[in-house]
Amino acid sequence: MAKKKDPIAEGLHTSAEAYWAAQQSLLADHGYQLRPRVEDGGRVVIKRVTLELDNVPLLQHLNSPEMRKDPRNNAVPLLDVIIPPTSNEGKSDHTVFLVMPMLFPLMSWHLPFRHVKEIVDVFEQVIQGVAFLHEHNIAHRDACNLNFMMDPTDVIPSSFHHGDNYYQPDGKTRIEFKDRCSVSRVKYYIIDFEFANYFPNNKLCVGLYGQQKDVPEMSRTVPYDPFKLDVFQVGKLIEKFIKKYEGLDFLQPLFEAMTRQDPKTRPTAAEALDQLRQTVSSLTDSDMSSEIWMKDMTPGLHRLQTLNGTPRPSSRRLLFDGSKCRQLLSQSISLVRQKIQYRISSFSTV
């Protein structure tokens, strides 16, 4: 009798992949395949979580028909919850599988923001979504960069590889993308609700939560306002954008208000949204349409393009295409040499 092959030992699967391969029949029973797309063509992510620790009931509540009626609700869509069968001993480890749409990170080198209006739309949706949670007495407590994502369907028509979003699903071809403001309004979502909880009647909390570790009031022993924690965290997200992109100084007062050291003096999420809208109302259409660049790559490209006298490229692959950058540099060097040669010739004929 032939010995059964061990895919891990043979290097065909990692231990994590082997776990998912073992769940193949269960997932197939619910209409999902591990490698190909699901039947309707939608690309999904299946996340293994613990029922209680990952706050699945709260996420289910946010995805109830009643809550989904409100367009301000930007909690990640929960497409399905798959409950594995119990073990042969009748035991359950409380593991469930959450099926969610495959989303793209909010901040990525591979998909930069290109216009002021795109940044404004991000924070309109982000702050509005947090205000929606607070209106329902829910504090997220990890409203930070990595927990905000976007639906890339229209921006990256080819979709992307989940393991490396620089590439298309084939893992070889680089993604090509459209400006966010050139397609239907992009939807931004908040994910990971394991730290979220209900806090009715202005109830306080204790504990250290989330990616942002410099929240002044956060304490294991001294109670603090979880809603003002969310406000601080979103304020620090605004700061990240201000530091990364040029032309966002108009957001500085909002960031400063949301990250005040005394949480009592910070605006609520609803007040922060009002402040954002008031600030944006003072911007002209030209201001909103202005192009922006990442600060750490702007100076070089600006010098090259100014030297060439050429407009900014329409191809959004230029920032990450070495051959095109080298071509642009070569053209610039050639132009400089021509100018130097002209000046030398002019000097020689005097």
Nearest to residue 295, comparing CAs of 240, 244, 251, 252? 244
* Residues 318 and 249 grouped into a single domain: no
What average pLDDT does the segment 59-70 reach? 96
Task: Taking each helix axis as running N to C, give the angle between helix 116-135 and helix 269-281, from 0 to 180 degrees, rounded to the nearest 10.
Answer: 150
* Residues 64 and 166 grouped into a single domain: no
Dihedral sign, CA of 6, 8, 13, 19? positive
Residue 309 pLDDT level (bands cut at 50, 70, 90): very low
Given a cut of 70, is residue 344 above it in pLDDT?
no
All residues at 6 or more sequence positions from 319 whose CB lies less than 8 Å from its CB, including other chains: 112, 297, 301
Domain for residue 345, yes or no? Answer: no
Nearest to residue 333, comparing CAs of 296, 293, 303? 303
Residue 141 pLDDT level (bands cut at 50, 70, 90): very high
3 versus 250: the higher-pLDDT residue is 250
C-beta separation of 258 from 266 below 8 A: yes
Phi first, then psi: what are they for 38, rounded to 5°?
-70, 165
3-state secondary structure 228-265: HHHHHHHHHHHHHHHHHECCCHHHHHHHHHHCCCCHHH
Domain for residue 63, yes or no? Answer: yes
pTM of the model: 0.76
Percentage of the chain surpassing pLDDT 70? Answer: 75
Instruction: Find the CATH number of the domain harbouring 22.
Output: 3.30.200
Residue 26 pLDDT level (bands cut at 50, 70, 90): confident
What average pLDDT does the segment 68-96 reach? 82
Given a cut of 90, is residue 349 above it in pLDDT?
no
Q: What is the DSSP letter of 225?
A: -
- pLDDT computed for residue 4 by the predictor: 55
Domain for residue 215, yes or no? Answer: yes
* Residues 226 and 133 grouped into a single domain: yes
Least confident range from 41-45, 90-94, 165-169, 216-220: namely 90-94
Beta bridge partners of 49: 96
Phi first, then psi: what are they for 74, rounded to 5°?
-115, 30
* Residues 124 and 213 grouped into a single domain: yes
Distance between CA atoms of residues 44 and 246, nearest Å? 34
Given a cut of 90, is residue 262 above it in pLDDT?
yes
Residue 40 pLDDT level (bands cut at 50, 70, 90): low
* Mean pLDDT estimate for the chain: 82
What average pLDDT does the segment 138-158 reach? 94
Domain for residue 22, yes or no? Answer: yes
- pLDDT computed for residue 340 by the predictor: 53
Phi first, then psi: what are they for 73, rounded to 5°?
-75, 105
- How many domains does the chain fold into? 3
- pLDDT computed for residue 345 by the predictor: 53
* Residues 209 and 316 grouped into a single domain: no
What average pLDDT does the segment 90-118 reach? 87
Domain hosting 119: range is 108-296
Nearest to residue 228, comparing CAs of 151, 130, 89? 130
For 172, other C-beta atoms within 10 Å of its C-beta total 8
Domain for residue 211, yes or no? Answer: yes
